[in-house]
Amino acid sequence: MGKKVLIVDDDTDIITFASSVIENSGYTPISALNGEEAMNKIREEKPDAIILDVLMPKESGIKMYRKVKTDPELSDIPVIILSGIAQRTFTRSQKALTEFEGQDIPEPDAYLEKPVEPEELEKTLKKFLS
Amino acid sequence: MSKLKLLLIDDEEGIRKVLSLSLKRDGYQVLTAEDGGKGIELFRKNLPIIVLTDIKMPGMDGIEVLKRVKEIDPDTQVIVITGHGDMESAIKSLQLGASDFITKPVGDQVLAVALNRAKERLETKRLLREYTNNLENMVKDATEEVKRRYEFESKLIQQSIDGIIATDKEGNVLIFNAAAERIFGYTEDEVKTRKKVHHLFPEGIGQKTTGILSGESRSADDIFVLEDTSVEGKNGEVIPIRFSGAILYETDKPIGSVGFFQDLREIKRLQKELIQSERLAAVGQTVAGLAHGIKNILNGLKGGVYIVNTAMKKSPDSFAGAGVKEGGNGSKLRTGWDMVERNINRVSGLVLDLLSYSKEREPEYEKYDPNIIVDEVCNLMESKAKENDVKLIRDLDKEIGEVYLEPKGIHSCLLNLVSNAIDACIFDPDTEKDWQVKVRTHSDRKGGVIYDVVDNGCGMDQEVKDRIFTEFFSTKGNRGTGLGLLVSQKIIHEHKGILDVESELGRGTRFSIRLAKQEFPEKK
């Protein structure tokens, strides 16, 4: 199989849906239900792209996103945020954390708001992977 | 003090000389004349207040002088000098208004007494005149004061915001002010000739008032206050009012009644509106709180549809196979599934509209070419237009340049307007028309941007036009959510812009988005 895409979401229906889109686009889906599990999977599997939810139990997407983007080994992996949270809210939280931690974080490579059309998700994936 | 002017008329030069010397000594300014004619001439010129004239003179005599002087100025004191024993002349001159007479030879003392009396009389006259003048002024002032008060009071009644109705003892209307006309819809004249107190006061109060008025004594229960009641208007409509009224007495005898009517229509309307807007705000807050969860559910629904569709595409036989064999169930499965999918899209559209309508937000401004948005929207709508024989035309002002706006927001507004415009063509019963929808951009004189979406479809009548920006109003039956224009308008208002509409039934509609130039974009 081709490139690997990690989908991180606590909603298994979203995982099923995104996995299906990933497969239909010709990639291999990997999934994780929370940020902690996702970090392990990232280190083990080295995915080519990450689809990331924001509001999750244990570790939120906001924190996980920072971890990925501040890790020199991982920061090149494109991250597509897929969330019911508006981009503005996400950006604001990141800014607050940036001020708190003093470390600047780039904006996500793509931001999709739920509900997302399968075609749009596919298009976004292809933009980063082909 | 200036000297008193005195005119002395006598034909004898000796007497003139002697008298004027003694008069001058007494402090008078003395004018002299040797006959009546000259005397009158001098009188006219100088208007002395005392005239001393001889009776017997050649030419005009003293009696004639007296008459003329009194004609010219009746207040002048005229003292006549008569010959000794000439009582007849003396009496005649007194009858003609002379203030005194003295006889020749004229003694100093007698003259002085006569002059003093004349002066006293003058003073009395002056005082009397002053007093009369004062009295007149006082009456005038008092009259004016009364008039002013009357005018003030009638203005107070006429211009009162509350309706005021006053009646006499028989219940006939005496006062029916402008506010009362507004409340009841009757004119003052209509009411004064046709209505009585029990027609106008609130139910019960009117009858009670009539009862008290027909009696002759003070009633214990003669002040009425009803916080929330109603009266009947001219056309039979029920008008909510606050009423207060009272019986008017003159020493314990009822002589009339008065009622004050506070119009509660506007207050009631505002209360209703407030309740409605509070309800909407509550809905908005609830919806906003649920937004995240709802969006996940919508994504789950769409995801499910996608997976089923993928599976159907991959192996149509296995999916519909059973149905085909058993006679038509396969096509039913397809029909049913299409229905599920269509309705998921509908509920998704409605919920997303509702979410964005209930969310308070500021636009995320970006520097952007407004024409790009038109291109994106037209590309999206091209197929819908074509399917329905509608020509989609772009008329873009290439000089417009980049402006600050929220591309996502304006995109969704324009998409809504263009989609509505195409619908207006689809709904148009006049199939002879070459339907077209034109999207135009241009800048206003102040550097703002205007988007026009113009169609020649079915148009709207006034009633529809009045309601298009109200919640859940739709002309599209179950195809519309009734929120599209509201959401668009909200986005434009967030941009501090204006969403205008012009429409004519059967001719078409023009929607205009007017965005003012944003000098200082919000920092993100």
Give the per-residue SS3 of chain A.
CCCEEEEECCCHHHHHHHHHHHHHCCCEEEEECCHHHHHHHHHHHCCCEEEECCCCCCCCHHHHHHHHHHCCCCCCCCEEEEECCCHHHHHHHHHHHHHHHCCCCCCCCEEEECCCCHHHHHHHHHHHHC
**What tokens were used for A129?**
């992977």
- B380 reaches A (C-beta below 8 A): no
- Asked whether the beta carbons of residue A17 and residue B303 sit closer than 8 angstroms, the reply is yes
A106: amino acid identity, one letter: P
- B67 reaches A (C-beta below 8 A): no
Task: Give the pLDDT confidence score for residue B83 in this predicted structure.
Answer: 83
- B304 reaches A (C-beta below 8 A): yes
Task: Give the pLDDT confidence score for residue B523 in this predicted structure.
Answer: 47
pLDDT in tens, A69-111: 999 999 999 999 999 888 888 888 888 888 888 788 888 999 9
The number of domains in chain A is: 1
Of B291, B307, B348, the CB nearest to A84: B291
Task: Give the pLDDT confidence score for residue B324 in this predicted structure.
Answer: 47
Task: Give the pLDDT confidence score for residue B261 in this predicted structure.
Answer: 94
- Asked whether the beta carbons of residue B292 and residue A20 sit closer than 8 angstroms, the reply is no
Q: Domain map of chain B by residue range?
A: 4-129, 160-263, 271-358, 366-515
Task: Give the pLDDT confidence score for residue B323 in this predicted structure.
Answer: 47
**Architecture (CATH level 2) of domain B366-515:** 2-Layer Sandwich (3.30)
Low-confidence ranges of chain B (pLDDT < 70): 1-2, 316-330, 471-473, 476-481, 520-524
Q: Which residues of B touch A114 (CB under 8 A)?
A: 295-296, 298-299
- Asked whether the beta carbons of residue B307 and residue A116 sit closer than 8 angstroms, the reply is no
Cβ atoms within 10 A of the Cβ of B338, count?
A: 10
Q: For residue A98, how far is the Cα from the chain centroid?
A: 19
Q: For residue A17, what are the domain limits?
A: 4-129
- Asked whether the beta carbons of residue A85 and residue B292 sit closer than 8 angstroms, the reply is yes
- B324 reaches A (C-beta below 8 A): no
**What tokens were used for B432?**
């002879």
Side-chain half-sphere exposure of B91, counting CA atoms within 13 A: 4
Give the span between the Cα atoms of B6 and B23, in whole angstroms. Answer: 9
Of B298, B307, B364, the CB nearest to A115: B298
Contact criterion met (CB below 8 Å) for B165 and B259: yes
B316: amino acid identity, one letter: P
pLDDT in tens, A41-78: 999 999 999 999 988 877 788 889 999 999 999 999 99
Of A11, A16, A91, the CB nearest to B307: A16
Q: Which DSSP string corresponds to B117-166? A: HHHHHHHHHHHHHHHHHHHHHHHHHHHHHHHHHHHHHHHHHHH-SSEEEE
- Asked whether the beta carbons of residue A84 and residue B310 sit closer than 8 angstroms, the reply is no
Is the entire prediction scored with pTM above 0.80? no
pLDDT in tens, B385-421: 999 999 999 999 988 888 889 888 899 899 999 999 9
Task: Give the pLDDT confidence score for residue A31 in this predicted structure.
Answer: 95
Task: Give the pLDDT confidence score for residue A74 in this predicted structure.
Answer: 92
- B352: nearest CA in chain A? A115
Choose the mutation target among A7, A10, A12, A13 for the interface with B, i.e. most B CBs under 10 Å: A13
- Asked whether the beta carbons of residue B524 and residue A18 sit closer than 8 angstroms, the reply is no
- B166 reaches A (C-beta below 8 A): no
Nearest Cα to Cα of residue B165 among B240, B246, B73 = B246
Does the structure show a pLDDT above 60 at A1?
A: no
ipTM of the complex: 0.77
- B523 reaches A (C-beta below 8 A): no
List the CATH number of the domain containing A43. 3.40.50.2300
Instruction: Give the right CATH number for B160-263 from 3.30.1280.10, 1.10.645.10, 3.30.420.40, 3.30.450.20.
Output: 3.30.450.20
- Give me the CATH code for the B4-129 domain, please: 3.40.50.2300
